[in-house]
Chains A and B, each alone.
Chain A
Amino acid sequence: MRELLRVKNLSVDYIVDEGVVKAVEDVSFQMYKGEKVALIGETGCGKSTVALAIMRILPHNARVRGEIIFEDKNLLALDEEEMRKIRGRRISMIFQDPFTSLNPLLTIGVQNTEPYEIHLGLERNEALERAVDMLKKVRIPNPEESVVRYPHTFSGGMRQRILTAMMMSLHPDLLIADEPFSSLDVTIQAGIIQMLNELIESFNSSLLLITHDLGVVAETCDRVVVMYAGKNVEIADIYTIFENPMHPYTKGLLSSIPRLDIKVERLPVLAGSPPNLLNPPTGCRFHPRCSHAMDICKRVTPPLIEVDKNHLVACHLYSDGDEYGNG
Chain B
Amino acid sequence: MFLVRRAVNHFLEKNSMEKTGGRRRVKHSAGLWRLVFRRFKRHRSGMIGLGIVLAMVFIAIFAPFIAPYPYDEQNFSERLQPPSLKHPFGTDPLGRDVFSRVVYGSRISIFIGLVITLLTAVIGITLGLIAGYFGGIVDAVISKVAEIFWAFPIIVFALAIVAAIGPSVKNVILVLGILMWVSFTKVVRAETLSIRERMFIKAAKVIGENNFKIIIRHVLPNAFPSIIVLATLTVPDAILTSAALSFLGLGVQPPTPEWGAILSDGRLYLRLAPWITIFPGIALFILVLGFNFMGDGLRDALDPLMRRR
Contact = CB atoms under 8 A, between A and B. Distances in A.
Nearest to A110: B217
B156 interface: no
The prevalent SS among residues of B at the interface is: helix
Contacts of A114: 204, 207, 209
B208 A95 contact: no
Contact of A166 (B31, B207, B218): B207
Contacts of B28: 148-149
Nearest to A90: B208
Given A60-B136, A152-B12, A95 B199 contact: yes
A103 to B, nearest CB: 4
B29 interface: yes
Interface in A132-169: 145, 148-150, 152-153, 163, 166-167, 169
A118 to B, nearest CB: 5
Nearest to B32: A105
A206 to B, nearest CB: 16
A101 B199 contact: yes
B210 interface: yes
A115 to B, nearest CB: 5
Given A145-B27, A153-B16, A102 B200 contact: yes
Interface residues of B, number: 31
Nearest to A87: B208
Contacts of B32: 104-105, 150
Contact of A167 (B9, B31, B207, B222): B207
Contacts of B207: 87-88, 92, 114-115, 118, 166-167, 169
Contacts of B208: 84-89, 115, 118-119
Nearest to A60: B135
Nearest to B6: A99
A42 interface: no
Given A105-B221, A149-B29, A153-B13, A55 B206 contact: yes
B203 interface: yes
A215 B218 CA distance: 36
A102 B35 CA distance: 19
Given A105-B32, A150-B32, A152-B13, A167 B206 contact: yes
Contacts of B27: 145, 148
A57 B32 CA distance: 30
B206 A87 contact: yes
Nearest to B220: A105
Interface in B67-124: none
B198 interface: yes
B38 interface: no
Interface string B24-49: 01111101100000000000000000
Contacts of A166: 203, 207
Contacts of A87: 205-208
Contact of B29 (A101, A118, A150, A167): A150
Contacts of A104: 32, 200, 222, 308
B189 to A, nearest CB: 15
A60 B135 CA distance: 8
A99 to B, nearest CB: 6
B170 interface: no
Interface in B141-195: none
Interface in A76-118: 84-89, 92-93, 95, 97, 99-107, 114-115, 118
Nearest to B201: A103
Contacts of B210: 84
A114 B210 CA distance: 11
A150 B206 contact: no
Contacts of B199: 95, 97, 100-101
Contacts of A89: 208
Contacts of A88: 206-209
Nearest to B207: A88
B5 A92 contact: no
Given A118-B209, A150-B29, 11 more contacts: A84-B210, A88-B207, A99-B5, A103-B218, A103-B221, A103-B222, A104-B200, A104-B308, A105-B221, A107-B29, A150-B32
9 contacts: A86-B208, A99-B9, A101-B200, A103-B221, A104-B222, A105-B222, A114-B204, A152-B9, A153-B13
Interface of B: 5, 9, 12-13, 16, 25-29, 31-32, 135-136, 198-200, 202-210, 217-218, 221-222, 308
Closest 7 CB pairs of A and B: A88-B207, A88-B208, A87-B208, A100-B199, A101-B199, A149-B29, A103-B200
